[in-house]
Every structure is written in structure tokens, then in C-alpha cells.
Amino acid sequence: MFISNPVIDMLLRGVILTTIAMIWVVLLVRINGLRSFSKMTNFDFVMTVAIGSLLAGSSQSTSWIGFIQALIAMVMLFSVQYATARLRKMSHKFESIIQNTPVLLMKDGVIIDEALLKTRVAKDDLIAKLRESNVLDFSQVRAVVLETTGDISVLHGEYCSPEMLMGTHTYDL
């Protein structure tokens, strides 16, 4: 790709192509904005993984065509993410199609077993998340929510505003 000596060519490709691809990703993030690698939605998570894969692929390209194709694919992923974010703002129906609904796993110190079953979250994993959040007793927990990204949010304290649970899917206690 650069020179005829295969070892030096491999080293040059690794250094030069990786540097160009990284600068390209940074430029695209600057254009697309801070939300580019957020985990606000499941789509954002897939975007992050895909960009990482394309970055790795571009760094290992053996032809200029493959390298440019990876850079173009990155532009398209950022474009689709941008368009998706705009459509989500404009259409509730579009958002409901593309976005999961957060699920309430625990409310006012009571674990919702049906929610754990439906979401395939093990009780041990839930309890581990409670420990991570410095919960000392179930009675401290106002709510535990399995977010659309797969993260688990633990709300504890004396009071939880109903607005904090708006939009969550609730199973019977």
C-alpha cells in the first residue's frame, strides 16, 4: 500500500491509517455533537460498537478502497444517528418503534418478580446494583429502573417524585 517491504508497509499502514481514521472519527464527533457516543438509546450503543469496529477495520485496511469505504461507512452511521435523533424528537410513534421502554424492577422497597422474569434480570444482579448504589436496606429504595440502554438506575432516599418514573413499564407487585 505504501512501500514494497511488507514489514515496514505493515507498520506504516498501522500507524498512518489508524491516525487518519482516529482524526476522522474525532472530526465526525465534533460535527455531530456530544451525543455521538452517549448511551441514551439502544441505537446509540449499537452506533458506538459499529464505529469501533469500522475504526479497527480501517486501521487494518490493505487497500485504499477498503479504507475509504470504512470512512464513508462512519459518515453514514453518524448521519443515520443524527437523523434518528431528529425523528425521535418529531414523532412519538417513531420513538416508540425504535426505543425500548424503561421497566420498573423495584418500587418502594419491593422487588417486582414479574418484571425481573420478563426482562431476564437475575435477582442477584439487581441486589449487586443496589450494593453499588450504597443501598443498605430495601426500605431505602424508592425505585429501580431497567433503562432503555440496559443500565439499571437505583433511586433511593426518602422521596421519589412521580415524574422520575414517567414512561416506565410497570408490572404488578
3-state secondary structure the chain: CCCCCHHHHHHHHHHHHHHHHHHHHHHHHHHHCHHHHCCCCHHHHHHHHHHHHHHHHHHCCCCHHHHHHHHHHHHHHHHHHHHHHHHHHHCHHHHHHHCCCCEEEEECCEECHHHHHHHCCCHHHHHHHHHHCCCCCHHHEEEEEECCCCCEEEEECCCCCHHHHCCCECCCC
What local confidence, expressed as pLDDT, does residue 12 receive?
Answer: 92
**Do residues 28 and 58 share a domain?**
yes
Q: What domain count does the chain have? A: 2
Q: Residue 76's domain spans which residues?
A: 6-96
In a domain, 113, yes or no: yes
For residue 96, pLDDT beyond 80: no
For residue 126, pLDDT beyond 90: yes
Mean pLDDT across 149-164: 89
For residue 16, pLDDT beyond 90: yes
**Do residues 70 and 41 share a domain?**
yes
In a domain, 171, yes or no: no
For residue 143, pLDDT beyond 90: yes
What local confidence, expressed as pLDDT, does residue 128 receive?
Answer: 96
For residue 41, pLDDT beyond 80: no
**Do residues 123 and 66 share a domain?**
no
For residue 79, pLDDT beyond 80: yes
**Do residues 14 and 85 share a domain?**
yes
What local confidence, expressed as pLDDT, does residue 45 receive?
Answer: 83
